[in-house]
Structure 1
Amino acid sequence: MKIMNNRFAKILPLSVAMVLAFSCERELDDLQPAEYPSNPNVFIDGFSGGLEYAAFGGSVPTAFDVDNEVTYLNTSETSMRFEVPDAGDPRGAYAGGAFFTTVGRDLTEYDALTFWAKASKAANIDVVGFGNDLGEARHQASVSGLAITTNWQKYIIPLPDPSRLTAEKGLFYYSEGPEDGRGYTFWVDELKFEKLGTLAHPKHSMLNGEDQVETSFVGVSKRIEGLSSTFNLPTGVNRTVGVTPAYFEFASSDESIAVVDGSGVVTVVGGPGTAEITATVGGVAAEGSLTIESVGDFVNAPTPVIPQDNVISLFSEAYMNEPVDYYNGFWEPFQTTLSADFEVNGDRVLNYTDFNFVGIQFTSPTIDATAMTHLHIDIYLPNPLAGTARMQLEVVDFGSGGTGVFATDIPASQAQQWISLDVPLSNFAGLGSRAELAQVIFVDVNGNIPGFYADNIFFYDDSTPPTMPATAAPTPTHPSDDVLSIFSEAYPSLEGTDFFPNWGQATVVSEVAIDGNNTLKYTGLNYQGIQLAEAQDVSDMAFLHIDYWTDNSAQLNVFLISPGPVETPVSLTVPTSGWGSVDIPLSDFSPVALDNLIQLKFDGNGDIFLDNIYFRK
């Protein structure tokens, strides 16, 4: 198995000073653009003029050398030799470095970087390319997993758009680690830029060629990923090159909604409205697009209200956070999830895109959550759901606790709003000890969650019984003939109502007696449905009445739902000061079909007490 590393996080520091001198007798109008040499050679029997080499940080610094014994067809005087180390080599974890010049070269007349190569054994070089100048590396292009054999073969790396390479300093770079734990040697010879004239059928892609649609908000930024260029080589093989955004000309269909800069960063600047982001490379339209559906201003996740002393936080502006190794380790080879985190109104938000699974790791130190009872996470699915999604959470203990698994269903109606998950740690099947927690992992079980936002990720202690209302809810006084009751001891209520339908929620539902009056209690609310035994016609009613009480909720919404589902939330003021009583005009729930009402739903957070839920004239 190949040992992978984050190889480009550190490089050897270099400093280059360039001094330009102009004669004081020259007029500014006489100055001409600098002309850069068009020398195509990189290594032909030795370094070309001005070429330098620097090893990447963490690599074996002596991995590269000049070889005068093994050369292409034994016709060259020297070749480039690269020694890949064994796993665990104290000198470095891999071989990697860049060949660059301090003065740029004009490569616009060429269409490919070519070289001959062989290896001491068949292998796949992690990365080979050009454009890494140990600086901004704006025009980097590379081939991943380049298959190399024990025989000399010619390799071609197409230039995505040569017209961009007017002053390129990064002429060649590579990175390769041990394969199956063992190192090996490979050689490169006759390394140069060429005008082949036989590269055909250019195809460029953004977002891996997909047409993506994303709901977003004013102030949110997203970098365009999945950039590549593919050419048909003279051998008939298609070669795909990973490229940087500087090769692309990005455009927005409506810059009052979203703008995109030269580095491929899309920023939502207005809304509501829609803007489509597209691109071209050298005048050729790129496959793939990003449609931003801005809904306007961003709504931050609910602010947690649990005291700091009861919390161990991984990610939240409301608390002091514990040290975290990373919020996205990008575990190869199967993970596709990328990160495009953003900050709005001073609140940082984790943004996971191309989601299949992703892990948060915290090992320095691990976390002792023995005294904690729950895991809290706020998530937001910015894209519409085609159907019910299923999110799996895993909590991993690096000691003797093993891995605990909990899964929850997310109905399509829960998309495009914050969902608060408060999961008892006892619900994580398979989790033993919680003394050395080290990872929280998210998994898309059904494969239909394109991405999600996350905030307020923390463990907390909820072992102290929550405060309860000192008195029962006020007794209603509306005439019984004018009321259709869902839950109330003051009126006959609908029969067959299910107050705990299995919608995959984390909420714990119970009935408690307060002053002898049965009261509905939601503990650790994330969302909770009420399923009516049969559809109801409340079109002749005027209000939905609710009595509610909470001292620790920061968000509470109530929904009416008709088939479709069609649902509309109404926000309730929380926390309350005593019992809160509301009469919500049914017109506030438009466009719900009031003559075909099938469900009610609450979502938010905290512990909620409910009574006297009824419709009235």
Structure 2
Amino acid sequence: MEIGRKTQIINLIITKMNIFKNITALMIILMIAVSCETDEDLKYSLDYLSAPSNISVNFDITQDNSGLVTIIPNADGVVNYLIAFGDTIDETPTAYKVGDEINHVYEEGTYSVGITAVGINGQNATLTEELIVSFIAPENLVITIENDIAVSKQVNISANADYAIEIEYYFGELTEDVPVTADPDETVSHVYANPGDYEITVIAKSGAIKTLDSTFTFTVTEIIGPATAAPAPPNRLESDVISVFSDAFTNLTGTDFNPNWGQSTIVTTETIGGSSTLKYANLNYQGTQFASAIDASAMEFLHVDVWTDDATTVNFYCISTGPAEKAYSFAITAGEWVSYEIPLTHFDNVNLADIIQFKVDGTAGSSVYFDNIYFYRETPTSPTTAAPTPPARDTDKVISVFSDAYTSLTATDFNPNWGQSTVVTFDEIAASDTIMKYANLNYQGTQFASAIDASSFGYLHVDMWTYDATSVNISCISTGPAEKAYALPITSGEWVSYDIPLTKFSSVVDLADIIQFKFDGTAGATIFLDNIYFY
């Protein structure tokens, strides 16, 4: 019995060992298969890699008449370099890894140095660069320096000299000035923290010990632009505006503000006082191309805000197909925003239904800022017609607060002193039709001589007209006070009749004890009211 049990255990162990061997063998086969597949994928991927690109080289020549040159190559996608120093006939290039220091001693002369960048798959690209090794000190130093025409307090400088191989620039801004090194004729830019006079030093170097330098004073200038945004345009109906560039309105899409017309003007968009602003620097002329022709024939004016501190003339053109164009000359006030309202009748030779471009020209080299460029027609600021006439109703079916159509409550105070800034007046819009005007709205109350019992009525009617309010609320107030507001949906520039279910107030307000109304809304707006009654 014991022998049989041992035999079973031995067989089980052998079986498990065989299973383990099979699994191990299978894993090895899979690893080989995966390895082969990975190698194939790698080979396939490497075949499609491109040769190294953006090859460049810098030469650093020791200034001790020794001719020792450090060669510093650079390239994208490179794993090693082959360097042909150019001073040996039938030269075999020397291989270097990326990051190796490459030094070579030259005699005086001019050499063609070959830099071959080799990629991981063996593909390569070659650059040949001329190297002049001279133990003659640089001569005839020529320096070109200017303030940048678009970037404030930026200086652009370049220099060259006979026999020079590199130029060092000290910009004189820091006590321990660190030089910027560049090739001859290479432009170097430096932005100063503050405008003013600075001592700038330029040193031309060759392979000789002796250098050639120049130190001079240069005045760094600040480009001064507007400190505040252009004036905010008045509220206008969208139907009364065609906006080209303004944060106040919805602009046309697809407008090209910098088409290539061969101009020298530099166009940028800057945020000034939270408002996007167009800047034209180094102005000679500048175009604006619309995605499709603008039909401004129904508009009356072109509005433009302009700021400049150095232009003395600025002309603005509308252009229609042809081309047909006409300029409007802005009267310039330097150093402040000026708003121009240009009558479209001025552009009498331009097809106003087919405006395809704008153009600006003016004082050469000046900087001009623009904002709020749009066509518009005058939006009425008050109604020109009466509110809709209310329907005839039995007297017991109406409680009129303010209406010429019904007999209104007496002794109502339409302007109680609640500390409001709103100005209340009454205008006659038509014969025997008076309307109530709230100007400079913040809030405004109406006080009834005695409480109104509107518990048996279903609606409160109000007619309202506004051109500039974007929100208006009317509140019913009962003793307590208990009040609840109803927001009136706004449609600008026309009379809107509101029939408000009294259930909008009844959850809070005692409809049998209404003692006051209150209006509030867009600060500073103007609204006109008529036909306020329960029914």
TM score, norm. by length of structure 2: 0.39
TM score, norm. by length of structure 1: 0.35
State which structure, 1 or 2, has the greater radius of gyration over its C-alpha atoms: 2
